[in-house]
Amino acid sequence: GQQLNQSPQSMFIQEGEDVSMNCTSSSIFNTWLWYKQDPGEGPVLLIALYKAGELTSNGRLTAQFGITRKDSFLNISASIPSDVGIYFCAGQQLGSGNTGKLIFGQGTTLQVKP
């Protein structure tokens, strides 16, 4: 199935460090969303982006919708142990003829060393 290119695949960082991950696509999307998934759970929505160039924050998380509408990045500042999990980007195409289905990246696994 179709997937976005998400990198890095995994990260192992020290508590307090900043984290950056990104997602690219060959297709244009109307919306970019970032989710976090813990083991055995469903993805939890972190940030939704609706306009090219938009920069949105949610606490220590900041995400941007790329100008070309083909990419997005997520930054986590001052990481803490509870940031551990798998982060997914998802692109969405809306409008006539589109269901608004989400196309996901492969995920970035984040581990934080106390």
Partner 1 sequence: ETGVTQSPTHLIKTRGQQVTLRCSSQSGHNTVSWYQQALGQGPQFIFQYYREEENGRGNFPPRFSGLQFPNYSSELNVNALELDDSALYLCASTSTGRHATNEQFFGPGTRLTVL
Taken as a whole, the chain contains a residue count of 114
Report how far residue 64's alpha carbon sits from residue 82's, in angstroms, rounded to the nearest whole number. Answer: 22
Main-chain dihedrals φ then ψ at residue 35, nearest 5 degrees = -125, 155
For residues 56 and 77, which CB has a smaller minimum distance to partner 1 in the complex? 56
The nearer residue to partner 1, 19 or 90, going by C-beta atoms, is 90
By CB atoms closer than 10 A (0-12, 13-18, 19+), residue 89 is buried
Interface stretch with partner 1, choices 31-39, 51-59, 61-69, 74-82 (CB under 8 A)? 31-39
Closest CA to 20 of 79, 90, 69: 79
Q: Does 67 bind partner 1 (CB under 8 A)?
A: no
Which listed residue (33, 74, 76, 110) binds partner 1 by CB under 8 A?
33
Nearer to partner 1, 89 or 112 (CB): 89
For the record, the structure tokens of 15 come out as 């508590």
Residue 20 C-beta: closest distance to partner 1, Å: 19
Binding footprint of partner 1 on the chain (CB under 8 A) = 1, 3-4, 6, 30-31, 33, 35, 40-45, 48, 50, 88, 90, 92, 94, 98-107
